[in-house]
Amino acid sequence: MEFVNYQPTKIIFGENKIDLLETLILQYGEKAFIIGPIVCDAIIPLFNRIEKNISNKISFKTFYEVESNPSINTVNSALRAIRKFDPDIIIGIGGGSVLDVSKICSILYNNPHYTWEYMFNTFADFRKDYEQINNKLPMIAIPTTSGTGSQCTQACVLTDIDNLKKTIFHQNLYATITILDPTLTLSLPHTITRATAFDAFAHCLESFLRSDNPICNLLAKEGIKKIIYNLPLVLGSNNIEYRKELMLSDTFGGISLSNCGAMLPHPLSEIIGSYTNICHGEALALVYPSFLRNTSQKYSKKYAELADYLFPSEEFVDDVEAANYFIKSIITFMHECDLEKKISDYAVDKKIIDRIYNFITTIHLPMESTDTIDTILNEILYEKGE
């Protein structure tokens, strides 16, 4: 058995751990640049709490301008503001979009010679260790959702000038510290809670399918278990204990993803999201029932292992029966959490659907066979043969 597992981010978990922020910042200096999402009523109390917490000893500037699916233009704007302020540390507070912008700013701050074209073309493989990027600014990640895993990955997803989502992988993109405070997720609406939790589910499942890394596989299986048992509970009762479980599963998924990578649903969902603005978690949910059904034979042993782990009281005749039970259970779980959607639910124009199909079939994704991909695309885009 051979594997490599790497997770350099210091993880601080617990209720109200956000109150440690000032102490953590002072380890690096007295000037902090805070990056957050576009301000809305729901997030204002959190911003006020954080700013009040650090205002006695820390000089800080804020950039509350990160949109969903952030563009490289947003990163460029943030970098100009950061260089003008010259901070000792960057703080990212928000969902995956905010954390991705914060991470890329931390390595580009002192390295303006890197171009977007170079980074997108060069830093494209999660498995590689690339040239060191020196003089990185320390960065603290504070996720306010439980799903993206960005707080503990070396990945950064940004929208390029061609309006397509692209991913940069680099070992220096890991956050220095992440504060996992489940109290910050209590105000999340159901739509964001379910979408981000499903993203975490996908991270766990896809990394589990892709690798036999025993550390990540154990994390991934436990992450899947926590999500399918706790997401319905959170949607029914916004209990902090259930929120803790989702935040842990998100982190398990992020660690697994950073070491083992994703599978077909992720590039498909990112392309769909690029053309339609359907949020990432919901785009993944569009893909998953078809993906599971059409890979039931190929990954029957993996799906069977998950069935045995998730449902230990069930007895199965063979791997095929166990795999089918797992798939049926996941689709039922999606239905119960209002995650089972069709492309027609989003009123996407037929021309856009055709563009998505043509683009995906042109780039020849290597993760599954051409026939499998074509079958999945026809089911999710044209709702054929389900």
CATH label of the domain that carries residue 263: 1.20.1090.10
The domain tally of the chain equals 2
Residue-level pLDDT at 366: 86
Nearest to 98 by CA among 76, 121, 68: 68
325 and 272 belong to one structural domain: yes
Task: Categorize the per-residue pLDDT at 245 as very low, low, confident or very high, splitting at 50, 70 and 90.
Answer: very high
153 and 247 belong to one structural domain: no
What does the alpha-carbon distance between residue 364 and residue 39 come to, in Å, rounded to a whole number? 39
219 and 170 belong to one structural domain: no
Residue-level pLDDT at 146: 96
Does any domain span residue 3? Answer: no
Does any domain span residue 2? Answer: no
Task: Categorize the per-residue pLDDT at 41 as very low, low, confident or very high, splitting at 50, 70 and 90.
Answer: confident
pLDDT value at 163 more than 80: yes
Residue-level pLDDT at 194: 97
204 and 159 belong to one structural domain: no
Q: Dump pLDDT digits (tens) for 264-297.
A: 999 999 999 999 989 999 999 999 999 999 999 9
Burial of 244 (0-12, 13-18, 19+ CB in 10 A): buried
Plot region of 94 (φ>0 → left; ψ -120 to 50 → alpha; else → beta): left
Residue-level pLDDT at 95: 96
Mark which of 164, 184, 204 sits at the end of a domain. 184
**Sign of the C-alpha dihedral computed for residues 286, 267, 114 and 91 taken in this order:** positive
pLDDT value at 74 more than 90: yes
Does any domain span residue 4? Answer: no
Mean pLDDT of the chain: 96
Does any domain span residue 386? Answer: no
What does the alpha-carbon distance between residue 18 and residue 12 come to, in Å, rounded to a whole number? 9
209 and 147 belong to one structural domain: no
Mark which of 133, 154, 184 sits at the end of a domain. 184
Mean pLDDT of 162-169: 94
Does any domain span residue 237? Answer: yes
Half-sphere exposure of 131 (CA within 13 A, CB side): 8
203 and 145 belong to one structural domain: no
61 and 96 belong to one structural domain: yes
224 and 350 belong to one structural domain: yes
Residue-level pLDDT at 42: 81
Given a contact cutoff of 8 angstroms between Cβ atoms, the answer to whether 258 and 154 are in contact is: yes
Q: Which amino acid, residue 166?
A: K
pLDDT value at 386 more than 70: no
Share of the chain above pLDDT 70, in %: 100
Residue-level pLDDT at 191: 95
pLDDT value at 340 more than 80: yes
130 and 200 belong to one structural domain: no
Mark which of 184, 208, 224 sits at the end of a domain. 184
Given a contact cutoff of 8 angstroms between Cβ atoms, the answer to whether 166 and 158 are in contact is: yes
Range of the domain at 312: 190-381
CA dist 357 → 295, 346, 377 (Å): 20, 16, 7
What does the alpha-carbon distance between residue 68 and residue 60 come to, in Å, rounded to a whole number? 24
Mean pLDDT of 187-205: 96
Nearest to 193 by CA among 165, 163, 220, 233: 233
**Sign of the C-alpha dihedral computed for residues 55, 58, 60 and 65 taken in this order:** negative
Residue 180: helix, strand or coil by DSSP?
strand
pLDDT value at 138 more than 60: yes
Q: What pTM was computed for the model?
A: 0.96
Does any domain span residue 5? Answer: no
Mean pLDDT of 324-346: 97
154 and 44 belong to one structural domain: yes
